[in-house]
Chain A
Amino acid sequence: MGELGTLLSPWQWAIMAALPVLLVLLYFLKLKRHPVEVPSTYLWKKSIEDLHVNSIWQRLRRNLLLFLQLLVLLLAILALLIPYWGEGTTSGERYIFLIDNSASMSADDVTPSRLAAAKAQVNKFLDEQKRSQDAVMIISFSDTARIVQEFTTSAAECQAALARIPPTTRRTSINDALSYAAGLANTPRASYDPEDEQAPEPLPAKLWILSDGNFTPPSFSLGNLEASYVPLGKDNVDNLAIVAFSASRPDERSQQLQIFGRIENHGREDRTALAQLYVNDQPVDVQQVEVPAGKSAGVVFTQQQLETAVLEMRLDGNDALNADNAAWAVINPPQRGKVLLVTAGNRPLEFALQTPRAQAIADLLIESPQFLQTEEYRQAALSGLFDLIIFDRCLPEPSAGSTDAPTPMPQSNCWFIGLPPKLEEWGWKPGTPWPASQVVGPQIIDLERAHPIMQLLDVERLLIAQAAVLTPPSGSVTLMDALALREVEGNGEPQRVQVPVFAIAPRRGFEDAVLSFDIITDEQNANTDWIKRRSFPVMVLNVLQYLAGGPSEGGADSLRPGQPIELQVATAGETLTVATPAGREITVQRSPGNVFRFLDTDELGVYHVQSNGDTVERFAVNLFDSQESNLKPRPELDFDWNKVQATADTRPQPRAGWKILLLLALFVLLIEWYIYNRRVYL
């Protein structure tokens, strides 16, 4: 009971103590008998006189109702108090609240929203715990988790932190949040030796998960976490959601743009959805779609070819979640990669780079090796004007003009043919001849077919006259291995050795591919019969697609909220401005690797990337998550190891005892009622 004393304030105790007194007083008041006139009290008096013989028992019996009522009251009070018994709520208890702020928590089936309801629950808990010494930690989670409040005993701090949890449009993943929560509770023990004093003591905590459970519970062992799950939201909530929206042009009618949308009905009744299509904010089309309950339905719009447009599909009508009632797709102006081919003449390669497919991917500029010494090249190399520079049997000159310096690498992807770059990573040493050694007649023995560049290639029995020996840097991928004769120093006898002849290595955000044999020699002779094979243009196309980055179809790659994007914009400036759907303007710095990394994609809608005031690119962020759109709260969380049942409230879990007590009280009340009404005494 000592613990109870600190749990209840004195006046609460006073109220509780006053209840029985009040009842007795009421009972005495009740004893004010109601006067009734009867013909004669003659017989009554006689009857009472008889009964007065055992008057003590009579008095007891008369008060039996009072006793029963006191008993009921006592049981009810105990039922209220018992839950707190032995809970040890007063000090040292740790509470961790995981608050879901994913997109589905913005549903307004509970007013004002599920997130607000969750906050209100925690606030209520904090209000009740104000006087205690419990430590409370608050973690919000959507697709990532964030500790909004470290363990603290200050309810005010917690409430302030709670208020800061924003609603997001992200999907849900509880893994991080659970890991954070488990960090303190379940100490990883290096050894199971019980005398190991190095391991910190695990600190058990009570874990409250306030969520709608719209995520796949991971396999997770809660260990010392005593988890409770408070599902938020109503079961019978209607929601129509757009889960896909994209535009593409079918090959046969390439002048037309087909726009696909997919609508899911997460309600319990069949619905008719009115899908409206907007092009650049102008309504252009509308379709009516029947969506059966629990199923999805597709909608297709056809539009004339649009060079550049912002497409939006909206669902008419209100439902619980608004975030999935609109979807956007962007058709950006056709953007092709820029490829610079520096060669002294290479007909097969030029031809392969100018096939219609290759032209669709990239614009080609062919320059002679003298171009590498111009200022124009230096500017282009530094600003990353080209997506890919192909150095055919040549290397960019060091600025000082000295031949014994490492190759200055441009801010682009590079493809070196015949001559590897003079870089220490590639085995170059100052003052040594380059390339270091040559092999004759290498035979291809292995291909890295998993790499995109090596897709669909058939290089069996490829003939190669001469190749340089590659020493690819660490982290590189060897695309082609060959077996070749090589003269070993000292011995004079050539030996068969395995040498890489085609490799690709990352370089600070770029990638450099090196083909160690010439395609055409300086004398315009073929160094390999690859150029006569079908696989050669395929390989060139693969290189173009991989290193020069062909454009994607309009709207196909919609981002999810919170997903970062790397903007590859050909601009000379160091910054870009991104205008969010809400109108905020965010300045993005150029990252190493000639890309602009943009992370702030929490808002749904179309983002405009601006450079010097001109919109150069747009991209759309859509929810597109069936799991978030399905608003029906999960009844329980199954972490494989532990099942967490739903509870309605964040109050301390009452012990099972209160139910028995309350049932007992009800039973006594029934007896009392029976005795009173039937006037039956024991």
Chain B
Amino acid sequence: MPTDAPLLSPDFLAQLERLELVTRKVFRGRMKGERRSKRKGQSVEFADFRNYVAGDDLRFIDWNTYARLDRLFLKMFLEEEDLHFYALIDASRSMDFGEPTKLQYAKQLAAALGFIGLVRADRVRIEALGASNTRPGPVLRGRASVWRLLDYLDQITPGDGVPLARGVRDFCLRNKGQGVVVLISDLMDKSGYEEALRYLVARQMDTYVIQVLSQEELDPELVGDLKLVDSEDGDIAEITVSAPLLKRYKETLNAFVGSVREYCGRRGMTHILAHNQLPPEQLVVNYLRRRGLVR
């Protein structure tokens, strides 16, 4: 898929319109939204009664109860607030591989999820990790911000070799709020992915890790004696491609993915493995829905 193709096709958008982001945790929002909040507030959804204390808004007194019990009770309604949705795109060089590139794939995913959030009046923020020169993404609200969202995604380019952990740490430092965070990355970081995930766990965010791998990584089509050059740090691995090596590689890959899944599972995070040949539509509509990120 060429990079100048629209991130979201009209058909896909129509499908996304019907979805909403779901969180297994209930967070306090900043603004009124469409989600139930921990806070009681003004909405049509009844939550509880409490005794009247001086100063309470007389409009919320339940006059029917007063007539029956001769005591003043205040009706409390559930407050509906917005959801904070963060999409973290790993924009390291290693993401710039595959056809379409993993980065492009990540952008599509982020756009789709961000669009769902904007449609449902959530607070959406996209951040590109690993690209030191990229400005932090804007906070977006409302359907009208879709274009800003896409603009921002467009200008994300594969950046320098900033470790994933530092990118996530910076993100956590910048954003105090809680909410749903989707990390889209290949997690191929020599210093390890665990540190990065630990930051997210520490913020008690509802974390989804979408690990994107390219077809070339899943099933390498390499032949001969090769000198593999790491795209991020220029590290060299000399290999002679052979059946046992390929077998070994696949075992290593499976072990790696398995370890990520286990790591995430133990810490209440959801790990989803995606590869760039899987259409984003299918991933969002089928997989993410099954895993509970969207509804």
Interface set of A (CB-CB < 8 Å, partner B)? 30-31, 33-48, 50-51, 61-62, 678-681
Contacts and interface: CB of A to CB of B under 8 A. Distances in A.
Contacts of A47: 245, 248-249, 251-252
A43 B93 CA distance: 16
Interface stretch (B76-84, B232-240, B283-291): B232-240
A40 B241 CA distance: 16
Contacts of B217: 39, 43
A60 B249 CA distance: 20
7 contacts: A34-B225, A38-B230, A43-B249, A48-B239, A61-B242, A680-B243, A681-B242
Contact of A34 (B94, B186, B227, B243): B227
Contacts of A37: 228-229, 231
Given A34-B227, A42-B189, 13 more contacts: A36-B228, A39-B188, A40-B188, A40-B230, A41-B229, A41-B230, A42-B230, A43-B252, A43-B253, A46-B256, A50-B252, A51-B248, A679-B243
A35 B226 contact: yes
B224 interface: yes
Contacts of A41: 228-230, 235-237
B223 interface: yes
B224 to A, nearest CB: 7
A39 B214 contact: yes
B222 interface: yes
B227 A33 contact: yes
Nearest to B248: A47
A678 B256 CA distance: 26
A48 B237 contact: yes
A35 B252 contact: no
Contacts of A679: 223, 241-243, 246
B254 to A, nearest CB: 10
A277 B189 CA distance: 100
A24 to B, nearest CB: 15
B16 interface: no
A39 B244 contact: no
Contacts of A40: 94, 186, 188, 190, 230-232
Interface in B184-239: 186, 188-190, 214, 216-217, 222-232, 235-239
Nearest to B97: A39
A43 to B, nearest CB: 5
Contacts, number: 98
A62 B224 CA distance: 11
Across chains A and B, which 7 residue pairs bring their CB atoms closest together, nearest first? A40-B188, A33-B227, A39-B94, A41-B237, A39-B97, A41-B230, A47-B248
B226 A36 contact: yes
A44 B240 contact: no
Most B CB atoms within 10 A — which of A41, A47, A679? A41
A499 B93 CA distance: 134
B231 A38 contact: yes
Contacts of A61: 242
Contact of B244 (A30, A45, A681): A681
A251 B238 CA distance: 104
Given A39-B214, A40-B94, A679-B246, A34 B224 contact: yes
B95 interface: yes
A47 B236 CA distance: 14
Contacts of A30: 225
B129 to A, nearest CB: 15
B101 to A, nearest CB: 10
Interface string B160-194: 00000000000000000000000000101110000
A569 to B, nearest CB: 91
A447 B93 CA distance: 125
Contacts of B188: 39-40, 42-43
A37 B232 CA distance: 10
A45 B222 contact: no
Nearest to B247: A47
